[in-house]
Structure formats: C-alpha cells, structure tokens
Amino acid sequence: MGRAGRTGPGVTRRQPDPYHWPNGEAFYRILYYSNKAIAAGCRDPEIHLLKSRSQMKLGIHPAAAEKDVLKYYPAMQRSGYPPCLKAYDLIAALHAAAAVKPPWPGAARKVMLTKLQRLFPAILAEKGLPGPDVVELMARYEGLYKTLYGARAPALRRMIVLINKARPLRSVCWDVKGISYINYAWDARGFSPAVPPDRLILFVKRLAVARAALQHAYGINPRDYMAATLMIMVDMGLGRKIPDMNRWFHRAIDANPDDFLAYSKKKRFLYRRWGGSRHQLLRFARQCAANHGYAGGVRFMACLIYNHVAAYNGAALNPYTGNAFFKHARRWKRIDALFTNYLRRFPHDYYHRWWLAQYAAWCGHWRIARQQIALCGKHLRPRIFGLKNNAAMLREFVKTVNAHVKK
C-alpha cells in the first residue's frame, strides 16, 4: 500500500488534531472505517495502527491492541508516510512496549527512542504541517522521556538544539519551546499548594522563558492560535489578572473558534484558586454552550464547568445521583439541549450518550438515563466513560438508575 488513496472510505491519512480527540465519536469512526478497510484486504500498516490505537483508547481488548501496535509499527517506519505520523506511532509503540507482559527490555526501547528522535528535524522542517500537531507531538515525546528516564531536562535540551538548527522563523518552533518550558516549570514547582521558595523561583524563571518564546511566536505569526493558547497557561502560572488572560483567549479563538484547549485553559483560569469565581464560571459555561461548532467539543465544556461548580464549598458530588446543584430545572434544560442536538447528528457517539445518561440521572430524569443506557448497549464499557476499568462502579450506576425507575 502506498502513502494514501487505498486506506478505505472516510479514513484520512492525517490524524485529527490531538486536542479534538476527547470527542469519543472520533475513536469510533476511526475504528469503524479501519475495520472495514482491513476486512476488505487493506494491509496498510497505518490503518492497522489506527485501529489498534483506537482500541487502546476505548478499552476494547487493550492487551491484544498493544501487541498489534508492536507488530505493525516497524512496517510503518519503512513506509512512505510523513515523519509526523511515524513519530506518533513510535510513541504509541513505546507505551505499548512498556505495557505488554512481559515488558520489552530497556535496550530495545532505547533503540525505538533513538529512531523517534531522528524524525524530529524532518518534522520541524515540514511545510504545511499544522502547528498543534507538532506541539502536541513534542510534548508527548518529552512526557514519554520523563516517564522512561525520570527527567525532562535531557529531552528539553535536545529540543532546543533542534529548534536552533531548524527554521527559526517558523512560529511553531517557538511554540514547541514555549510548551517545553511550561512543562519544565511545573516539574520544578510540583502540584502541592505549599511550594518551597527555591522551587518557586525556578518555576517563575522557566515560565519567563516560555513567555518570551511564545511572544516571539505570536510576533512572527499573529494567526498562531497555539501561541495565544499557551500564553493563557503562562499567565495563570505567573498570577496575572483575568483581563490579561482574556486578551490571549480572544486572540486564540479569533484565529480558531473551535480551539478546545483555549476554552479548557480559560476554564481553569476562572477557578477560585486562580482568582476566578462561581459567577464567572457559569457565565463562561453559557459562552461555551453557545459555540456553533461540534468539531472541537467546545459546547460540552459547559458540562465540565457544571461538574466543577457543583463541588464548590465542599459539596459532595455523588457519582450516581449528583447533588442539589443539578436539581434545578434550568440546569437540565441547558444540558438536554446540548446533548439532544448533538446526538441527533451523531447517534453512534456512545461516549456522549453515556454523558447524557449520567447527567439525566444527576438531574433526576431517571427514565431518560435508562433509555440512554439501553441505546449504548454493548458499547457500555467502563474505560470509555472515564471510570478506569471500574466495572463495579458502572454496574452500580446502572443498578441505581433501574431502582429509581421502578419507584
């Protein structure tokens, strides 16, 4: 099989934007079409890898999927596909090599990591490659390196050398430096509320480097929404005010109205911990729900905000029955409108259908919850719905719904 064309109907040769992958429908579409292509005789290694990686994400026979990733990734590396796709598959293979039983030896994984690093110069030089793909790829590489070796600094130094050798006039190179130093700064700080002074100084210094890199990226390309989005993260860490964050947020969504990451980072910025309030979060939830696109899942950011606000002031959020926050009629009216319109267009998105079942139960609409559970059918798998393979929790939820319907 060649680079493209013989990959089955509906399967694109470039992966979707990684930041849009929370949309469960994408996993199902990729799995559906890759299965059809393979059943028709397709031997393209990328199609087999897309199938296996989707299975890993959805929790469908994950052990077999990990073995398939390790089986097909060598053929992918020999193919004519672009280096960015090869790198994504190598990262998946490295994760699979650590997860299989028994795990691959360290020497074999080091060879794979070296092959991955050799792809980076070509990726940074590739014209037309979307910036978010490059930024996400490099961030995944650094996270993988830290997982394997316990430190990010060597991977970061390699990135800086590559950026200096690449085309420094491309804003994406500075985006990569920005996200690298953001992650490096949080490595120094940690996530504990109490931070030693020396770590806090290091945190601020590294964020200052990230800020300078991202400002340079935005200066090169004012349509670089990734630079604007990452600046929200920097401003949050540096303790800047909400108007500063809003300036970068509007720059990001002016360039890309469906930028899920920008909405996600603004949501976190509005948490009480960072100077926001309950009122600001609920107002932002209405803004998210009014988003006209479905591609990035921005509309459903409103539900994530509701989850956060529901737990304000120490209020317990029961995973089966919710709490008083969700019992208001207007809350259910807004949630129902979001999901009904979406599922009318994408009826086979069982990820969001499960969400609707959960919110229906929390809002006290038990019959609707049971109806949505029935429509999920065999697709009701714990890992899909964020329960981390906790089948007992899923069974208890279904039992709770059935019990309330019978009352």
In the block, residue with structure tokens 């120094």: 188
Distance separating alpha carbons of residues 31 and 34, to the nearest angstrom: 5
Please indicate, yes or no, if residue 228 is contained in any of the structural domains.
Answer: no
Same domain, 143 and 213: yes
Neighbouring C-beta atoms of residue 44, cutoff 10 Å: 26
Q: What's the pLDDT at 295?
A: 61
Please name the residue ranges forming H helices in 190-325: 197-220, 225-237, 242-255, 260-269, 278-289, 301-310
Please indicate, yes or no, if residue 229 is contained in any of the structural domains.
Answer: no
Distance separating alpha carbons of residues 155 and 139, to the nearest angstrom: 10
Q: What's the pLDDT at 13?
A: 31
- How many residues are there in the chain? 407
- The candidate with the shortest Cα–Cα distance to 260, out of 26, 60, 83, is 26
Distance separating alpha carbons of residues 123 and 81, to the nearest angstrom: 12
Please indicate, yes or no, if residue 113 is contained in any of the structural domains.
Answer: no
Distance separating alpha carbons of residues 341 and 345, to the nearest angstrom: 7
Please indicate, yes or no, if residue 112 is contained in any of the structural domains.
Answer: no
Domain of 3 in residue numbering reads as 1-103
End-of-domain residue from the set 173, 193, 221:
221
Same domain, 1 and 98: yes
Distance separating alpha carbons of residues 337 and 303, to the nearest angstrom: 12
Same domain, 59 and 28: yes
Would you tell me the crossing angle of helices 83-99 and 106-118 to the nearest 10 degrees? 170
Q: Is the pTM of this model over 0.85?
A: no
End-of-domain residue from the set 263, 287, 315:
315
Q: What's the pLDDT at 25?
A: 58
Same domain, 276 and 342: no
Contact residues for 160 (Cβ-Cβ < 8 A; gap 6+): 177, 180
Q: Are 227 and 262 in contact (CB under 8 A)?
A: no
Q: Are 286 and 309 in contact (CB under 8 A)?
A: no
Please indicate, yes or no, if residue 143 is contained in any of the structural domains.
Answer: yes
Tokens of 178: 């920005």
Number of domains in the chain: 4
Neighbouring C-beta atoms of residue 186, cutoff 10 Å: 16
Same domain, 381 and 330: yes
- The candidate with the shortest Cα–Cα distance to 253, out of 281, 284, 277, 274, is 284
Distance separating alpha carbons of residues 18 and 22, to the nearest angstrom: 8
Please indicate, yes or no, if residue 110 is contained in any of the structural domains.
Answer: no
Same domain, 341 and 387: yes
Neighbouring C-beta atoms of residue 20, cutoff 10 Å: 18
Please indicate, yes or no, if residue 406 is contained in any of the structural domains.
Answer: yes
Same domain, 70 and 34: yes
- The candidate with the shortest Cα–Cα distance to 48, out of 80, 74, 22, is 74
Distance separating alpha carbons of residues 236 and 242, to the nearest angstrom: 9
- The candidate with the shortest Cα–Cα distance to 293, out of 17, 34, 55, 28, is 17
Query: How would you label 189-228 residue by residue, b for 16+ Cβ within 10 Å and e otherwise?
Result: beeeeeeeeeeeebbeebbebbbebbebbbebbeebbbbb
Q: What's the pLDDT at 258?
A: 85
Distance separating alpha carbons of residues 148 and 153, to the nearest angstrom: 13
Same domain, 200 and 215: yes
End-of-domain residue from the set 221, 254, 287:
221
Mean pLDDT per 10-residue interval, the chain, length 407 residues: 31 32 62 91 94 84 92 94 92 91 89 91 80 85 86 84 70 89 92 88 95 94 92 93 94 90 93 90 93 75 92 82 91 92 85 89 95 88 55 86 89
Helix/strand/coil for 318: strand
In the block, residue with structure tokens 């939820």: 397
Please indicate, yes or no, if residue 360 is contained in any of the structural domains.
Answer: yes
Q: What's the pLDDT at 7?
A: 30
Same domain, 96 and 186: no
Same domain, 78 and 171: no
Same domain, 334 and 375: yes
Q: Are 237 and 207 in contact (CB under 8 A)?
A: yes
Distance separating alpha carbons of residues 298 and 291, to the nearest angstrom: 7
CA neighbours within 13 Å on the CB side: how many for 216? 17
Distance separating alpha carbons of residues 236 and 60, to the nearest angstrom: 37
Same domain, 42 and 133: no
